Amino acid sequence: MKKIFFLLLFFNISLFQAQQFYGPQRGQRGYIPPPKYDTSTYVVSVDVYDELEKVLPKCINEFKLDDFEAQILKDLLIKKFESYNLIVQNDDISKEKRIDFLKQHEIDFINSLSIILSPDEISKYMDMDFTKKKKKKKKKKKNE
């Protein structure tokens, strides 16, 4: 009697483990792949004056601008960031159209830089990196 009970118990456990609780596995009939998400970054608005603090000093040092040219550049950058925020915050248009508008806006800004910068300086500006990178502190190894 005990042997039959253990045999039935073993048989039930093996059937129980054969069931798939999470649906069909990959490669099986009825498998539906998970949805693909848009991997491109979301476009978010920026703080105008924080961005201005990142960009303006680097440009003044790189291109050796006088006060008048620096003020013109400051006005151009403020106008650029404010219109950037207006484009980004407009929810009436799709994401792709907003990205297209932003590309066109960047081209217009580069063209407006020709007022104070030479073509060589404009190409330098386009190559400049304005992101603030934090330097990692190296941990000292303990010699024991």
- Residue ranges of the domains in the chain? 48-127
Contact yes or no for 80/105 (Cβ under 8 A): yes
Helix, strand, coil in percent for the chain, rounding step 5: 60, 0, 40
Summarised one tens digit per residue, pLDDT across range 31-52 is 888 888 766 556 778 889 999 9
Q: What's the whole-model pTM score? A: 0.62
Q: How far apart are the first and last CA of the chain?
A: 66
pLDDT 10s digits, 92-123: 888 888 889 999 999 999 999 988 888 899 99
Q: How far, in Å, CA of 104 to CA of 107, rounded?
A: 5
For residue 138, is pLDDT > 70? no
Cα(44)–Cα(80) distance, integer angstroms? 15
Q: How far apart are CA 144 and CA 140, in angstroms?
A: 12
